[in-house]
A = this chain, B = another copy of it.
Amino acid sequence: MQNLKVYNSLSGKKEVFKSIEKKFVGIYVCGPTVYNKVHLGNCRTFISFDLIYRYFKHLGYKVRYVRNITDVGHLEDDSENAEDRIIKKARTEKIEPMEVVQLYTVDFHKTLSLFNILPPSIEPSATGHIIEQIEIVKSIIKKGYAYEINGSVYFDVSKFDNSYKYGKLSKRNIEDLISNTRNLDGQSDKKNPHDFALWKKAEPQHIMRWKSPWSDGFPGWHLECTAMSRKYLGEKFDIHGGGLDLKFPHHECEIAQSEAINDGKECVRYWMHSNMLTLNGKKMSKSTGNSILPEEIFNGKNSLFKKEFSPEVVRFFMLQAHYRSILDISEDALLASEKGYKKLCDAISQLSEIETNKETTGFDVTKWISNCYGALNDDFNSPILIAKIFDAVKYINSLNTGIESINKNDFKLLEEKIKFFFHEILGLNLIKSKSKTKENNYIEELINLIIDIRNKARFDNDFETSDKIRDSLLKLGVKLKDSKKGTEFKID
């Protein structure tokens, strides 16, 4: 089999994947800040890493997949008086911050489970790791890369940059950063505006606060991921992922924090970033109204799309793009995905009706399997995998119409693998085909009975009755088609 190649955002290249420990992969993906219903763009990130998680497990790795919950410290912006997003929500909704956290954690889990996203191996929360974060701040101070001022602790970016290199993930250099950052005189305790908080002293009215050597306060947002990834995956681990918007400053700051304690040693082997999701060609944004929630897509209650789309279809739509490409969601695109998804489900459902033959014609199953794996091994290229699967769908349809034939072994392989890619890797489920339900079989039998009665009338030259029956069926949406072979029907 081909080697798995992974695009490393740090090197900007696809690299052959080699795990640090044999047969073990540690993955850390930045999870949501639970102060609001989960954003559709976030869902794209978690669907992307769900496919990656599933594929690593299939390759036989023991995967420890850590995805955190940010429940403190994520401020509205970078200014000195910025408010914690969760506390702000708690204030506006007049509830306790941890009630906000619970409300949106429950919503997050529910939405992700509708998307058939597997739960991670560990889902640690920032407030659950305050001690660990305090320990890291202590270490960074000890190493000389952080300073305390008025009860808060800041990371000294310039000093770190002198020893090591700041900005290597986002390809920024410190000089540009310095010239691009506004220095708001007197508003900040920081030595330099590009320094970032490791620990913030809490104002008296601030509810979320913990004791620390510096003050009663709370950790800076970038700190939690460093603390939790080290705790559960070690000083250096295989993959760190997240949305592209987190590359700077969040991931850059994580690198600085880790390398500061590790004397400049690399903390992550592969950095992976999933790209943006736009809506109708524009950036999603609540303030401009160009925004939609997952549940609004599922229940059709929105002003953007004329109909509802199932979570399966939305997941399929997202996987039809590579995780590193910008993807635009629109009604037309979803309609196309829905159509394709149905076609795919139909073909898989019809596999059970295929009769095998002596010879396989028109398709090389072994080569097809190899191509599917080839797509996955090429940086988890799900759109190519899906295109390959549609090649198989086309072939299955021509087996059904008898244009091509397949032998037993090939069929077994094809059936097994197409189902495997569909269910296990893409994480999709078959739409219940209408024609398969008990009720629908019953409806067919009743219609056939009516057709029999009508044929009897036609045989007796009682065309008044036979026409009346045809018209009555038409009113119920049943169209009859008489031919030499007999009468066929179609339900609208």
Which A residues form the contact surface with B (CB < 8 A)? 64, 95-96, 98-99, 101-102, 106, 109, 119-125, 127-128, 130-131, 135, 210-211, 232, 437, 439-440, 442-443, 445-447, 449-450, 452-453, 456, 465, 469, 472-473, 476
Contact B211 A135 (CB under 8 A): yes
CB neighbours (8 Å) of A123 from chain B are 102
A437 interface neighbour in B121, B210, B439, B456, Cβ under 8 Å? B439
Bound-state Cα–Cα, A309 to B449, Å = 35
Bound-state Cα–Cα, A102 to B443, Å = 45
Bound-state Cα–Cα, A255 to B63, Å = 43
| Contacts known (A135-B211, A232-B96, A232-B98); A476 close to B122, Cβ less than 8 A | no
Contact A131 B211 (CB under 8 A): yes
In this complex, what residue of B is CB-closest to A123? B102
Bound-state Cα–Cα, A128 to B135, Å = 15
Contact A120 B102 (CB under 8 A): yes
Identical chains in the assembly? 2
13 contacts between A and B (CB under 8 A): A95-B121, A96-B121, A127-B128, A439-B440, A442-B476, A443-B443, A445-B476, A446-B446, A446-B476, A449-B450, A450-B453, A452-B472, A453-B453
| Contacts known (A439-B443, A449-B476); A96 close to B119, Cβ less than 8 A | no
CB neighbours (8 Å) of A450 from chain B are 446, 449-450, 453
Cβ distance A484 to chain B, nearest Cβ, rounded Å = 25
The 7 closest A-B pairs by CB, nearest first: A128-B128, A439-B439, A446-B446, A98-B122, A106-B119, A99-B121, A102-B122
In this complex, what residue of B is CB-closest to A445? B476
Contact B439 A453 (CB under 8 A): no
CB neighbours (8 Å) of A211 from chain B are 131, 135
CB neighbours (8 Å) of A99 from chain B are 64, 121-122
Which of A95, A119, A440 counts the most B-chain CB atoms under 10 A from its CB? Answer: A119
Cβ distance A233 to chain B, nearest Cβ, rounded Å = 10
Bound-state Cα–Cα, A232 to B102, Å = 13
Cβ distance A342 to chain B, nearest Cβ, rounded Å = 19
Cβ distance A24 to chain B, nearest Cβ, rounded Å = 12
A449 interface neighbour in B98, B452, B473, Cβ under 8 Å? B473
Which of A128, A232, A447 counts the most B-chain CB atoms under 10 A from its CB? Answer: A128
Contact B440 A96 (CB under 8 A): no
Bound-state Cα–Cα, A75 to B211, Å = 28
In this complex, what residue of B is CB-closest to A491? B442
In this complex, what residue of B is CB-closest to A447? B446
Cβ distance A62 to chain B, nearest Cβ, rounded Å = 9
Bound-state Cα–Cα, A447 to B99, Å = 54
Contact A124 B98 (CB under 8 A): yes
CB neighbours (8 Å) of A456 from chain B are 465
A453 interface neighbour in B121, B124, B437, B469, Cβ under 8 Å? B469
CB neighbours (8 Å) of A121 from chain B are 95-96, 99, 102
CB neighbours (8 Å) of A122 from chain B are 96, 98-99, 101-102
CB neighbours (8 Å) of A125 from chain B are 125, 128
CB neighbours (8 Å) of A472 from chain B are 449, 452
CB neighbours (8 Å) of A98 from chain B are 122, 124, 232
CB neighbours (8 Å) of A453 from chain B are 450, 453, 465, 469
CB neighbours (8 Å) of A442 from chain B are 443, 476
CB neighbours (8 Å) of A131 from chain B are 130-131, 210-211
Cβ distance A467 to chain B, nearest Cβ, rounded Å = 12
In this complex, what residue of B is CB-closest to A118? B106
Bound-state Cα–Cα, A4 to B58, Å = 56
Bound-state Cα–Cα, A135 to B212, Å = 12
Bound-state Cα–Cα, A456 to B462, Å = 12
Cβ distance A230 to chain B, nearest Cβ, rounded Å = 13
Bound-state Cα–Cα, A122 to B34, Å = 13
Bound-state Cα–Cα, A293 to B385, Å = 40
CB neighbours (8 Å) of A440 from chain B are 439
CB neighbours (8 Å) of A445 from chain B are 476
Apart from A64-B96, A130-B130, A135-B211, what 13 extra A-B contacts exist at CB < 8 Å? A64-B99, A95-B121, A101-B122, A102-B119, A109-B109, A125-B125, A125-B128, A127-B128, A130-B131, A439-B439, A442-B443, A442-B476, A449-B450
Cβ distance A426 to chain B, nearest Cβ, rounded Å = 22
Cβ distance A361 to chain B, nearest Cβ, rounded Å = 39
